[in-house]
């Protein structure tokens, strides 16, 4: 019988064919458009690294391209800095404008994320304090390229005052049947079906595998589900898969309205020991460790709430 880790490994491997690599034609068209639009250096860079982008792990891409004069001033940037300007998501300008201040955008540099430094009410979009110049230089739905004023600084830190975190939430869940009831296939099957109908196949399968050991007879849960694309982009060693899942599960049932009522900056504990999620707000948008909630209340029952999030929570 397969162990939980090997079962998850097989699951993630099965998802790879569903995530088609970036079309070669997209990369060719983008390099041509960049070259004709005054971004020759990034055009050459994309052409050089195109083979590394042709994999199921990179089904879509957003490139933030400094102009040629920035390359000239900086010299040949290291690969780690270039990766910091690539996000494994196709982000439209409308999507970027909708993100709240402080929202994090994952990059192909695993050690660094970008941060939105403007608000949805601002017409101009800034990331890490750097302005995006106009509309996308290229956008075919799979690959999006924006011009930016200068290179992003990986060491960028917001100058906003740091709030002291609120003490962590403790949940006392009323009884809704025993452990046997909660772990029945029918109950999880309904929740998994709702997740799959919204395109969250990876986390639905993880939930179906019932990776966590429910404790006691009054367990209630909240699950935050990243997209399949985000899950594939963030998975590394097979042994990491359970921890990725468990840090998205809270031992409380929290609807989106419950989360909105929390004090800004409250910390909630997860099923991964030692991992907490900071819940913050920007207007009516919720963020979890800086990751925006994009699809609230995908599924709800007496004991379970499921919400979609933009990216893997780290």
What CATH number is attached to the domain comprising 74?
A: 2.30.180
Q: In this predicted structure, what is the pLDDT of residue 240?
A: 66
The domain boundary, picked from 148, 174, 198, lies at 148
pLDDT tens, residue by residue, 274-290: 888 989 887 778 999 98
167 in the same domain as 113: no
279 in the same domain as 180: yes
Per the domain annotation, does 158 fall within a domain? no
305 in the same domain as 169: yes
Per the domain annotation, does 40 fall within a domain? yes
Per the domain annotation, does 12 fall within a domain? no
213 in the same domain as 102: no
Per the domain annotation, does 155 fall within a domain? no
Q: In this predicted structure, what is the pLDDT of residue 181?
A: 42
Per the domain annotation, does 131 fall within a domain? yes
Q: In this predicted structure, what is the pLDDT of residue 149?
A: 92
300 in the same domain as 172: yes
Query: For the whole model, what pTM was predicted?
Result: 0.57
User: Which residues form the domain of 105?
Assistant: 20-148
303 in the same domain as 199: yes
Q: Whole-angstrom distance between the N-terminal and C-terminal Cα of the chain?
A: 31
Q: In this predicted structure, what is the pLDDT of residue 299?
A: 93
Q: In this predicted structure, what is the pLDDT of residue 57?
A: 60
Cα 174 to Cα 204, 205, 219: the distances in Å are: 25, 27, 8
Per the domain annotation, does 156 fall within a domain? no
Q: In this predicted structure, what is the pLDDT of residue 167?
A: 40
Q: In this predicted structure, what is the pLDDT of residue 305?
A: 92
The number of beta carbons lying within 10 Å of the beta carbon of residue 121 is: 8
Per the domain annotation, does 237 fall within a domain? yes
167 in the same domain as 128: no
134 in the same domain as 169: no
The domain boundary, picked from 148, 173, 208, lies at 148
Instruction: Classify residue 257 as left (phi > 0), alpha (psi -120 to 50) or beta.
Output: alpha
300 in the same domain as 183: yes
102 in the same domain as 34: yes
Q: Which residues of the chain have pLDDT under 50?
A: 1-2, 4-9, 12-18, 160-168, 170, 172-185, 211-217
Per the domain annotation, does 14 fall within a domain? no
177 in the same domain as 115: no
Q: In this predicted structure, what is the pLDDT of residue 172?
A: 41
Number of domains in the chain: 2
200 in the same domain as 86: no
Q: In this predicted structure, what is the pLDDT of residue 15?
A: 45
């Amino acid at each position: 019988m397969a162990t939980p880790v090997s079962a998850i490994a097989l699951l993630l491997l099965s998802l790879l064919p569903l995530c088609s690599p970036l079309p070669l034609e997209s990369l060719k068209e983008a390099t041509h458009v960049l070259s004709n639009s005054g971004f020759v250096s990034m055009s050459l860079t994309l052409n050089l690294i195109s083979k590394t982008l042709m994999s199921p792990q990179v089904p879509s891409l957003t490139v933030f391209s400094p102009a040629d004069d920035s390359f000239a001033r900086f010299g040949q940037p290291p690969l780690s800095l270039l990766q910091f300007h690539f996000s494994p998501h196709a982000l439209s300008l409308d999507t970027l404008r909708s993100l709240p201040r402080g929202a994090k955008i994952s990059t192909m540099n695993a050690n660094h994320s970008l941060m939105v430094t403007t608000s949805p009410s601002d017409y101009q979009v800034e990331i890490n304090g750097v302005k995006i110049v106009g509309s996308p230089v290229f956008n075919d739905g799979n690959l999006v390229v924006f011009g930016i004023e200068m290179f992003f600084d990986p060491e960028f830190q917001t100058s906003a005052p740091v709030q002291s975190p609120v003490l962590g939430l403790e949940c006392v869940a009323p009884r809704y049947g025993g452990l046997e009831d909660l772990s029945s296939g029918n109950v999880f099957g309904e929740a998994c079906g709702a997740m799959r109908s919204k395109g969250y196949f990876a986390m639905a399968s993880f939930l179906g595998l019932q990776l966590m050991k429910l404790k006691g007879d009054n367990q209630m849960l909240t699950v935050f589900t990243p997209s399949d694309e985000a899950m594939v982009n963030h998975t590394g060693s097979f042994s990491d898969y359970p921890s990725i899942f468990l840090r998205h599960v809270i031992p409380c049932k929290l609807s989106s309205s419950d989360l909105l009522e929390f004090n800004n900056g409250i910390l909630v504990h997860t099923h991964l020991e030692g991992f907490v999620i900071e819940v913050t707000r920007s207007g009516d948008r919720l963020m979890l460790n800086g990751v925006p909630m994009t699809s609230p209340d995908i599924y709800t029952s007496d004991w379970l709430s499921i919400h979609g999030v933009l990216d893997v929570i780290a």
